[in-house]
Amino acid sequence: MQKHSGLKRLLKACGYSLSGLWAIFKSEESFRLDVLLCLVLVSAAFALDFDAVQKCVLIIPAFMLLVAEILNSAIEKCVDMFTENYNPLAKFAKDAGSAAVFVCLVCIFVCWITVLYSKYA
C-alpha cells in the first residue's frame, strides 16, 4: 500500500476527521446536544457586545466540550468493544471520560458567569 505525503496526505487526514465527526454526530445524542449548545453559545458570544478576548474566553470552552465529548465517546466504544461484563477498570474509564465532559461544562458556566459579571456588573 502506497503512503501519501504532502497535500494529498493532508486531504486524506481531513477526510478521515470529517468522517469521524459525521459518525459521532449520527450515533451519539449527547454529542448532538453539545453541538447545539456550542452553536447557541458561539452565536450568543458574537451577538452580544463582547470584545475579542471575551469572545475567545466564551467560545474556546464550548469547543473544548466537543473535544471532550468526542474523546468520551471513543473511550466508551473501546471499552464496550473489549468488555461485556462489569469490570471496575471499564467503569473507571467510562466515568473518567464523563468527568471530562462535566468539567468542560463547569468551565463553560464559570467563563460565562465571569464575563457577564465583569461586563454588566
Catalytic residue numbers read 69
What is the C-alpha to C-alpha distance for residues 114 and 65, in angstroms, rounded to an integer? 18
What is the C-alpha to C-alpha distance for residues 108 and 95, in angstroms, rounded to an integer? 20
What is the C-alpha to C-alpha distance for residues 39 and 62, in angstroms, rounded to an integer? 9
